[in-house]
């Protein structure tokens, strides 16, 4: 039989017990690891062969229960799916194993996921439909209608996207990518009867989709490759399509690009800020505008450059626009 | 080797709020004997916001920009991470969906254009690395960045989503990008290892969620400073606007004074190639670049 390749690796393992420890620390383990092993194998070997007190969540071992999510060198992984050698390729032979959120660690890798579930509950994570309890025929969903969900129903609630999202870290109100995927899972489902109510929830500034920074961390973090940010974009589109969008700074910011492109081809940066903030709101930007002006960073309206062949752009905007506000 | 030629999609900021980016890009290209043809017909890419309002319109406009590079049979290079995202994502979607491509082309036909998918789309950083090569750039260094600890700030859209960008960025890993660090070393400087080099600056919510934006920028800059960075360098003008112009707000969010010069990638290269700081637009920064 062919020998599996083996490597000697160092694992720095996060340790913390909220009941007894004041600060966390790292235990170091040097281990021989074979090509076939996944991160969960390493956690198991440490627990079974070195320190039985190591705590972590695990269950199905098949990438479907979502309980064994952790971070390795800050990369969110599902322990049971992530091959150790793939991580060595990215980070080298020293791997740092951390819980999804160190601040929420209860014992080692077991974190308090209450914030995740609270946000998840906020988007009404179940279908609202008046179901006939004595149906005479099946309630058929066509393959095309099912495709509309864009696999959002495959989410396993592992929390990887949520704990990778930088906005979640700095804004306690923000729902985060997993909750948005869940909201979309129902707003895209033709059987659900609460589309508008759901969209109103995710439209609110502070908690909703407008606070997404578009960093794509969620797209990288999702072990099911669900690309949460594409669902966030689709929620934005639904908010406009359903007439939910109210005139606020975020909405005007998205719409303002179209106005600017129509007029100049390239963006009129100053006008975009004025249009988004309104004539009064824009005043708070005056100090930085002055600082920028002094450094030649502001183009005055009469010097605003325009794209060549602007008539083409205007024509395309006329013929290709699909949304109104 | 024949002369390298690209269609340069400047994006909007290089023509308005970061004129130093266009100046330094053109100066570095000249020094490295690269010909950049400006895509003056191009419009704004929508900056990752227009598609939230009107996805199809955003596709049509971005496809139109690419058409002009295709007409010249040149690869399109971007100098803004978000332009890179929107342009390459449009290309990816149209190249893999004949139906969508046909719909977009139906509109483009009205103005006599056709999107074919023949031009590559890559950021200037990766054009330099792939086509000129780090070794070749190193050979041209006349003023090494001696004794400068330079922190690379990669910006999101050059490295994420990796499924898309790894086709254009030499397979850079989003969790451990190295290209700019390699470049800093090749230019004779010292790179800085810090956790936030691949994180988000918060630019895209600057208007609707300034607290979020300032906190994210604060985490990045304080991390760089605490790891002994003398300066930060970024390939993205949006990151630059945030990190250079907003340091007074970032300081408030950080609860401490944050003061560190921020360079555009071509400015850093230009300095090492011995180009006059003035020609690189160093005087356009809001935060003093006292290193130079």
- Residues in A closer than 8 angstroms to B200, CB to CB, are 166, 213, 215, 217
DSSP letter (8 states) at residue A3: P
Q: Is residue A279 part of a domain?
A: yes
B49, HSE (Cβ side, Cα atoms, 13 Å): 27
Cβ separation of A166 and B199 shorter than 8 Å? yes
Q: Could you read off the pLDDT of A147-171 as tens digits, one per residue?
A: 999 999 999 999 999 999 999 999 9
A124 & A197 share domain: yes
Query: For the residues A135-149, what does the mean pLDDT come to?
Result: 92
Most B CBs within 10 A among A268, A295, A298, A319, hence the mutation to make, goes to A295
Six-digit token string for A246: 């109210």
Q: Rounded mean pLDDT of chain A?
A: 96
Instruction: Give the whole-angstrom CA distance, residue A187 versus residue A195.
Output: 5
Say what the pLDDT of residue A131 is.
Answer: 83
- Residues in A closer than 8 angstroms to B16, CB to CB, are 266-267, 269, 297-299, 305
Q: Is residue A1 part of a domain?
A: no
Cβ separation of B161 and A220 shorter than 8 Å? yes
Say what the pLDDT of residue A1 is.
Answer: 58
Q: Could you read off the pLDDT of B32-80 as tens digits, one per residue?
A: 999 999 999 999 999 999 999 999 999 999 999 999 999 999 999 999 9
Q: Is residue A33 part of a domain?
A: yes
Say what the pLDDT of residue A139 is.
Answer: 82
Q: Is residue A262 part of a domain?
A: yes
Q: In what order do the strands lie in the sheet with B190-191?
A: B190-191, B149-152, B231-234, B262-264
* SS3 label, residue B105: helix
Q: Is residue A88 part of a domain?
A: yes
Query: For the residues A177-187, what does the mean pLDDT come to?
Result: 98
Domain count, chain A: 3
Query: For the residues A124-147, what does the mean pLDDT come to?
Result: 92
Q: Is residue A247 part of a domain?
A: no
Angle at which helices B98-109 and B81-95 cross, to 10°: 110
Which of B239, B269, B286, B54 has its CA nearest to residue B150?
A: B269
Q: Of 1.10.1240.10, 1.20.58.340, 3.40.50.11810, 3.20.20.80, which CATH number belongs to B139-284?
A: 3.40.50.11810
Nearest chain A Cα to B16, which residue? Answer: A299
Q: Of the candidates B12, B107, B160, which has its C-beta nearest A316's C-beta?
A: B107
Radius of gyration of chain A (CA): 25
DSSP letter (8 states) at residue B123: E
Counting one residue from A and one from B, how many pairs have CB atoms under 8 Å apart? 202
* CATH number corresponding to B4-123: 1.20.1050.140
Q: Of the candidates B108, B160, B173, which has its C-beta nearest A217's C-beta?
A: B160
A42 & A59 share domain: yes
Say what the pLDDT of residue A114 is.
Answer: 98
B224, HSE (Cβ side, Cα atoms, 13 Å): 30
The answer on pLDDT for A93 being more than 90 is yes
Q: Which of A186, A215, A241 is the last residue of a domain?
A: A241
The answer on pLDDT for A190 being more than 70 is yes
**Chain B contact for A278 (CB, 8 A cutoff):** no
Cβ separation of B16 and A305 shorter than 8 Å? yes
**CA dist list (Å): B157 to A123, B88, B168, B175:** 28, 10, 11, 13
Task: Return the H-helix or E-strand segment holding B150.
Answer: strand B149-152
Domain hosting A268: range is 256-320
CATH 3.40.50.11810 in chain B is located at 139-284
**Chain B contact for A216 (CB, 8 A cutoff):** yes
A236 & A151 share domain: yes
A159 & A234 share domain: yes
A107 & A119 share domain: no
How close is the nearest chain A Cα to the Cα of B37, in Å? 14
Whether the bond into A52 is cis, omega within 30 of 0: no
Q: Could you read off the pLDDT of B80-134 as tens digits, one per residue?
A: 999 999 999 999 999 999 999 999 999 999 999 999 999 999 999 999 999 999 9
Say what the pLDDT of residue A138 is.
Answer: 87
A126 & A225 share domain: yes
**CA dist list (Å): B86 to A301, B89, B158, B285:** 26, 5, 11, 26
Q: Is residue A251 part of a domain?
A: no
A126 & A80 share domain: no
CATH 1.20.1050.140 in chain B is located at 4-123
Most A CBs within 10 A among B207, B215, B238, B241, hence the mutation to make, goes to B207
A78 & A21 share domain: yes
The answer on pLDDT for A94 being more than 90 is yes
Which of B71, B76, B59, B184 has its CA nearest to residue B122?
A: B76
Nearest chain A Cα to B202, which residue? Answer: A213
Q: Which of A192, A207, A241 is the last residue of a domain?
A: A241
A122 & A224 share domain: yes
Q: Is residue A137 part of a domain?
A: no
Q: Could you read off the pLDDT of A227-239 as tens digits, one per residue?
A: 999 999 999 999 9
The answer on pLDDT for A2 being more than 80 is no
ipTM of the complex: 0.97
**Chain B contact for A115 (CB, 8 A cutoff):** no
* 3-state class percentages of chain B: helix first, strand second, coil last, to nearest 5: 50, 10, 40
- Residues in A closer than 8 angstroms to B61, CB to CB, are 261, 313, 316-317, 320
CATH no. for residue A22?
Answer: 3.10.20.30
**Chain B contact for A135 (CB, 8 A cutoff):** no
A180 & A126 share domain: yes
Q: In what order do the strands lie in the sheet with B76-78?
A: B34-38, B4-9, B76-78, B121-123
């Amino acid at each position: 039989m062919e020998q599996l390749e083996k490597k000697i690796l160092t694992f720095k393992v996060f340790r913390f017990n909220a009941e007894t420890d004041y600060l966390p620390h790292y235990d170091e383990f040097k281990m021989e690891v074979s090509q076939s092993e996944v991160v969960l194998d390493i956690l198991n070997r440490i627990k079974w062969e070195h320190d039985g007190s190591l705590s972590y969540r695990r269950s199905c071992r098949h990438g479907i229960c979502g309980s064994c999510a952790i971070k390795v060198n800050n990369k969110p992984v599902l322990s049971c799916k992530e091959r150790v050698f793939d991580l060595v390729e990215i980070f080298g032979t020293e791997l740092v194993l951390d819980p999804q959120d160190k601040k929420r660690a209860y014992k080692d890798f077991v974190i308090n996921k209450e914030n995740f579930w609270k946000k998840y509950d906020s988007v009404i994570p179940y279908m609202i439909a008046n179901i006939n309890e004595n149906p005479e025929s099946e309630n058929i969903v066509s393959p095309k209608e099912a495709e509309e969900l864009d696999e959002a129903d495959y989410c396993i609630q592992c929390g990887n996207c949520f704990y990778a999202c930088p906005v979640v870290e700095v804004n306690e109100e923000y729902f985060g990518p997993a909750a948005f995927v869940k909201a979309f899972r129902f707003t895209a489902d033709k059987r659900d009867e609460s589309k508008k109510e759901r969209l109103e929830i995710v439209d609110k500034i502070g908690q909703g989709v407008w606070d997404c920074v578009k960093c794509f961390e969620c797209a990288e973090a999702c072990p099911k490759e669900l690309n949460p940010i594409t669902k966030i974009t689709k929620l934005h589109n639904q908010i406009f399509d359903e007439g939910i969008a109210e005139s606020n700074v975020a909405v005007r910011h998205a719409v303002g690009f179209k106005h600017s492109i129509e007029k100049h081809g390239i963006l009129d940066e100053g006008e975009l800020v004025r249009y988004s903030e309104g004539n009064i709101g824009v005043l708070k930007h005056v100090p930085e505008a002055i600082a920028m002006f002094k450094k030649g960073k502001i183009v005055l309206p009469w010097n605003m450059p325009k794209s060549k062949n602007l008539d083409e752009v205007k024509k395309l905007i006329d013929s290709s626009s699909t949304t109104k506000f | 080797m024949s002369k390298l030629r690209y269609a340069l999609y400047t994006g909007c900021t290089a023509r308005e709020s970061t004129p130093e980016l266009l100046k330094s890009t053109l100066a570095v290209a000249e020094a490295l004997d690269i010909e950049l043809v400006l895509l003056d017909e191009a419009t704004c890419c929508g900056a990752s916001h227009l598609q939230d309002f009107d996805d199809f319109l955003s596709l049509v406009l971005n496809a139109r920009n690419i058409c002009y590079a295709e007409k010249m049979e040149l690869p399109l290079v971007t100098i803004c991470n978000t332009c890179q995202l929107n342009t390459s994502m449009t290309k990816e979607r149209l190249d893999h969906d004949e139906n969508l491509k046909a719909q977009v082309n139906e509109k483009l036909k009205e103005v006599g254009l056709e999107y074919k998918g023949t031009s590559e789309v890559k950021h200037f950083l990766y054009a330099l690395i792939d086509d000129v090569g780090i070794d070749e750039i190193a050979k041209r260094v006349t003023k090494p960045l001696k004794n400068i600890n330079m922190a690379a700030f990669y910006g999101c859209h050059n490295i994420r989503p990796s499924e898309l960008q790894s086709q254009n960025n030499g397979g850079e890993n989003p969790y451990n990008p190295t290209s700019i660090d390699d470049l800093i070393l090749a230019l004779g400087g010292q790179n800085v290892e810090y956790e936030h080099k691949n994180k988000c600056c918060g630019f895209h919510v600057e208007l609707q969620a300034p607290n979020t934006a300032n906190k994210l920028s604060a985490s990045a800059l304080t991390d760089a400073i605490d790891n002994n960075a003398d300066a930060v360098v970024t390939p993205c003008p949006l990151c630059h606007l945030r990190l250079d112009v907003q340091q007074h707000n970032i300081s408030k969010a950080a609860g401490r004074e944050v003061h560190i010069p921020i360079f555009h990638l071509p400015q850093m290269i230009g300095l090492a190639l011995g180009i006059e700081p003035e020609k690189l637009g160093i005087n356009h920064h809001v935060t003093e670049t006292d290193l130079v």
